[in-house]
Every structure is written in C-alpha cells, then in structure tokens.
Structure 1
C-alpha cells in the first residue's frame, strides 16, 4: 500500500477538494485500493513526510523532504486533472 499526503496551507480547505478529485481519478483507473491518504497542512509536512511515498500539494512547499512532490492545483481548478492522476500513478509505480 502506497501512502500519499495531500496538503494545503491549512490542511483543511483546498486539500479536501484535491483529495476528493484524486480519489475519484484513482478509482476510475482501478488504483484506489492500492493507496492510503493523509491530509495535512504544509507546516506539518516535515514531521510526517518520511512515512509517506508521495506528496500532492495545492500550495508552495514540500520540496526537500525526500519524497516526490506533485502539484495538485489542477485538481482544484479542474484543468489537466488527468495529467495529475497519471503523474501520481507514475511516481508511485502503480
């Protein structure tokens, strides 16, 4: 099981929307049962990143934590959502 962090500035607003879009996209591709999710704020990332495989963020931050980072902003605005889902699947090797 791969672990994904979905993060935004507060860990509540845009990360919730991005998480839902990510789940829907992974479910359509038959990959949802292969991953688990943690919703987080950017300031919390240093304390949890080492136990996860990927970070999807809707805000700036998260680089240099030792895990791949995917820009999750398209999940919020609904443009290029499929490309983000494809990138998540590729980076996780699903």
Structure 2
C-alpha cells in the first residue's frame, strides 16, 4: 500500500499532491540528517551517565557498569558506547518509563 505505484511513500505523496509543489512531492527520499553539533554528544553522554548511575531509571539494570563507561552498544576507542548505543539506551529508558515497564 505504501508503494502502490512503485515509488517509496506513494500513499503520502498521493495524499499531499494538492498541497505540495511537484519539486517537493516528487523528490527522492533522503536519510534523516545527523546532528554534528558537539553539544549534542556532550548532552547525550551526560544523560546516559545519569541513567546508568540512577537505580530508579528503567535501563539502569541493563547497563554493564563493570565495563568502562557502560555497555550500551558497540564500544568506541575511548571507552564510550557508540552514539547509536547511547541514543538507543536513552530512548529505551524513555519508552520504558512512559509505558511503566520494569526490566
């Protein structure tokens, strides 16, 4: 249904045909942009550290505190989990808290 005419997002394109110019409605799908702002990485690491150290945080029990700087995802050379791993753990914590689930 999403690609009834062989293009990605066909249903969305058809639904917005009369609202968007052709240049936007027909452009190819592009990847979500990645924030290159160093402040984002600092804030992400700080939030991950906060969650890893907080016994009440839903993901607290999932963090391997025996590893240097936790164990969420692939390790980078500096002992920190990868950015994807950090984002995953922060998002997972939010999801678990929102749905009031225990792990």
User: Do the structures match in fold with TM over 0.5?
Assistant: no
Q: Which category of TM-score, normalised to the shorter sequence, fits these structures?
A: 0.3 to 0.5
Greater strand fraction, Structure 1 or Structure 2: 1
- TM-score scaled by structure 1? 0.32
Question: Greater RCO between the two (CA within 8 Å, min separation 6)?
Answer: 1
